[in-house]
Amino acid sequence: MTPQERIAELTDRLNFYNYQYYQNSISEVDDFTFDQLLAELADLENKHPELRRPDSPTSRVGGTVSKEFSTVYHRFPMLSLGNTYSEEDLVEFDNRVRKGLNGQEYEYVCELKFDGVALSLTYENGVLVQGATRGDGVRGDDITNNIRTIRTVPLRVTGPDIPALFEVRGEGFLPLAEFERINKEREDIGEPLLANPRNAASGTFKQQDSAAVARRRLDCYLYSFLSEPEVFQTHEDSLVALKKWGFNVSQTWRKCADIREVMTFINEWETKRFDLPLGTDGIVIKVNRYDQQRELGYTAKSPRWAIAFKYKALAASTVLNDIRYQVGRTGAVTPVAMLTPVLLAGTIVKRASLHNANEIERLGVMLNDTVFVEKGGEIIPKITGVDLNRRTDQSTPIVYPTTCPACGTPLVRKEGEANFYCPNEKGCPPQRQTRFEHFIQRRAMNIESLGEGKIELLIDRGLAQTPADLYSLTYNDLLGIEKVFLDEETGKRRVVSFREKTVENILSAIERSKAQPFQNVLFALGIRYVGNTTAEKLADYFGSMDAIMTASQEALLAVPDTGPRIAESVVTWFADADNRDFVERLRAAGLNFAGEKKVVEREGDTLDGKTFLYTGTFANFSREELEARIAANGGKVLSGISKKLNYLIVGENAGPSKLEKAQKLNVPMISEDEFLAMLDA
């Protein structure tokens, strides 16, 4: 089989597997088999880039870097909708429709108004050729590479009735579960939390590195079809066809015979919408027939045949009784408001985040105040204000603690940061507990069967003071130990005990964890600001734990996407004697301290003996691709600027410190085009 035939076969097969999984919830093959086939396709495409198809599933993982987004003009303007919050306005809208259609029979289609980012996708001959943001409605940004990373967006559609050129529109969003996962990781490594899913989705779509977009696992619901000439008679027909063609159409829409049925739909989804995987803020009502939409026409800003009903922000008022201060793994102290229980968005809310001392001061909130509570992004309760009309003499100012609520250590606050931190990393009980939880999680050492209660029990019994102690545990150490835990809120008792099967499962999971790859081990160490992605890049760049342990701050800054804060944190962490002892105990336990060497396929020898470093972003390469091309042509990438460096490749937004140092050392600086010319030579 020729490379072209194999690439075509793999592309079609993997696209079919993706379609079955994301549209029909059917797993045709296991993850390992899928990944092996995808790796084979990527390897073939790297060797034969001219054979790569536009609908290649390898685009799902990203990797393309754009130094800026080009502007595209929408063939059909992306107009905004008129909004209303009242049923009276909907009746008036219906009256206008009836009058505009001169007594014709008409019906509506109701759809949930998703809280995301409006997107436009263009297909030519069934292939996705362009993805764009709404922008100002007339023109938007070309984010095609980022759109291709969304696994529910078809890269190619097939069928007998598909137009040669058409456009679909929809809402790109960050699923709530993914939003919570990202924030949990950010909290875990000491990064500020994302504000809400909508802003997070918007920022992700504008990322210049599509690989970073792919890691966010965005999704998209499609809800509109456009073409010239028109293909369908009704909006309902288009939704059915889009679903049939493999587009991710939310099945929450409904055809309504009249405005009364529209009202019923709106009332039905007022609370039901909270069970969906994304935020919603209303209902979109559209006249179903396209000829009637044309007859009704448009105002300067919005169509006359559609309107958006917005649900009022769900808020409640209740009393702030107390504040509890939680200590995270990195020592950050977070205030949590303890509230008189109140019903909000279908759930009983007992607590809400106050984020930090700055937020308490901004709100001007006091203990025993009546406060307003909303659900930020409609998932996370937050205090949005104080009912000053109900403030009494019982209200008392909140005094932020100056010492750690868990261990009594004086808190510190770094300049420019909002959070207070407990610096007692090794002795503070919550920090020690959460350090274990970080170490055993799936993306780190993946030690199953060790839940929160079991870790606490091991620490309480003196069996494990650091995660390295897990590798010294024996069957006799664990068998029979137990502890009774009391839930402070419910008063219920819970017994955690280590019986025969539990002990066997734990010891087996600990043993299996020794096979985790080096990047997972590095992430498991719990270095502040070093998340899963950063650990992967450090592992790829340096190749071994020893190289990272001895790396200077300047060398660390040469790693893609590693800034001064991360570099300083890594150097500081490895400078600590206890941390180095912890690492050596993990080495002795047999954990992976080096990554697998990547085989470099030579393209030529034009760069033999030459050393390179780069700064900024590039039009033709991601940073990883640039390093690969240098190595494939005999060159070497250095970790920092020195007299041994032959060339500094300068891209857009180059780092000023590297440029300054290169000038001082008289290191030749070349552009991306000059580097390409060197390869061609």
DSSP 652: B
Entry field: residues in the chain = 681
Parallel, antiparallel or unpaired: strands 108-114 and 280-287: antiparallel
Helix, coil or strand: residue 637: strand
Which is the catalytic residue, given 113, 375, 454, 658? 113
Parallel, antiparallel or unpaired: strands 280-287 and 254-256: unpaired
| Helical segments of 3-59, H only | 3-24, 31-47
CB atoms within 10 A of CB 626: 21
- In angstroms, rounded to a whole number, what is the distance separating the alpha carbons of residues 482 and 456? 11
Give bridge partners of residue 241 from the DSSP assignment. none
Q: Provide the edge-to-edge strand list for the sheet that holds 669-671.
A: 636-637, 611-615, 647-650, 669-671
Instruction: Please choose, from the candidates 150, 281, 134, the residue with its C-alpha nearest in 3D space to the C-alpha of residue 204.
Output: 150
DSSP 654: -
**Binding site members for NAD(+):** 31-35, 80-81, 111, 134, 171, 286, 310
- In angstroms, rounded to a whole number, what is the distance separating the alpha carbons of residues 586 and 160? 60
- In angstroms, rounded to a whole number, what is the distance separating the alpha carbons of residues 167 and 144? 13
Give bridge partners of residue 373 from the DSSP assignment. 316, 383
- In angstroms, rounded to a whole number, what is the distance separating the alpha carbons of residues 518 and 595? 5
**Binding site members:** 31-35, 80-81, 111, 134, 171, 286, 310, 404, 407, 422, 428
DSSP 116: S
**Are the C-beta atoms of residues 184 and 129 closer than 8 Å to each other?**
no
Q: Tell me if residue 113 is catalytic.
A: yes
**Are the C-beta atoms of residues 11 and 5 closer than 8 Å to each other?**
no
Parallel, antiparallel or unpaired: strands 332-344 and 139-141: unpaired
Give bridge partners of residue 266 from the DSSP assignment. none
The continuous run of DSSP H or E covering 111 comes out as strand 108-114
User: Residue 258 corresponds to which tokens in the numbers above?
Assistant: 């009249």
- Cα maximum dimension of the chain: 85
User: Residue 665 corresponds to which tokens in the numbers above?
Assistant: 């050392």
Cα distances (angstroms) measured from residue 270 to each of 94, 108, 267, 380:
21, 19, 5, 18
Phi, psi at residue 371, to the nearest 5°? -120, 155
**Binding site members for Zn(2+):** 404, 407, 422, 428
Parallel, antiparallel or unpaired: strands 83-84 and 306-310: parallel
Per-residue burial over 1-38, b = 16 or more CB atoms within 10 Å of its CB, e = otherwise? eeeeeebeebbebbbebbbebbbeeeeeeeeeebeebb
- In angstroms, rounded to a whole number, what is the distance separating the alpha carbons of residues 185 and 63? 22
**Are the C-beta atoms of residues 278 and 175 closer than 8 Å to each other?**
yes
Instruction: Please choose, from the candidates 593, 618, 463, the residue with its C-alpha nearest in 3D space to the C-alpha of residue 525.
Output: 593
Phi, psi at residue 580, to the nearest 5°? -65, -35
**Are the C-beta atoms of residues 317 and 372 closer than 8 Å to each other?**
yes
- In angstroms, rounded to a whole number, what is the distance separating the alpha carbons of residues 613 and 344? 55
626 contact partners, CB below 8 Å, separation of at least 6:
614, 618, 649
79 contact partners, CB below 8 Å, separation of at least 6:
137, 298, 301, 302, 303
Q: What residues are labeled active site? A: 113
